[in-house]
Structure 1
Amino acid sequence: MAKKRNQAEDQPAKLKWSWQSESFEESLKALGGKQTEKRLLEQIRTSLDASDYLWYMTTFDNCENQTKVMLRVNTTGHVLHAFVNGKLIGSQYSSADPNFSFVFERPAELQGGRNLISLLSATVGLTNYGYQYELAPAGIVDGPVTLIGTKTYDLTKMPWSYKVGLDGLDKGLVLHSENWKSGKIPTKKPFTWYQTNFKAPLGSEPVVVDMLGMGKGEAFVNGRSIGRYWPSFIARKDGCGECDYRGHFSNGKCLTGCGEPSQRWYHVPRSFLTSGKPNVLTLFEEAGGDPSQVNFQTVVVGKICGNVPQGKTLTLSCQGYGRTIAAIDFASFGDPQGSCGSFEKGKCESKGAVSAVEKECLGKESCSLEAGDEFFGVVDSDCGSDFSKRLAVQATCSGV
Structure 2
Amino acid sequence: MKALTWHGIEDVRISDVPDPKIANPTDAIVRVTSTAICGSDLHLYGVLAPYLEPGDILGHEFMGIVEQVGPEVATLAEGDRVVVPFNISCGRCWMCQRGLFAQCETTQNTDAGKGASLFGYTSLYGAVPGGQAEYVRVPHADFGPIQIPRERPDERLLYLSDILPTAWQAVEYADVNGNDTLAVLGLGPVGQLAVRSALHRGVGRVIGVDLVPDRIELARRHGAEVLDASDTDVVQALRDLTEGRGPDAVIDAVGMEAHGNAVSEKVINATRRLPKPLARGAIEHFGIDRLAALHTAIAAVRRGGTLSISGVYGGMADPMPMMELFDKGLTIRMGQCHVRRWSDELLDIVSADADVLGLEGLATHRAPLADAPDLYRLFQEKRDQCLKVVLRP
Q: TM-score range by the shorter chain?
A: under 0.3
The structure where strand makes up a greater share of residues is 1
- TM-score (norm: length of structure 1): 0.22
- TM-score (norm: length of structure 2): 0.23
Asked which structure has the greater CA Rg, the reply is 1
The structure where helix makes up a greater share of residues is 2
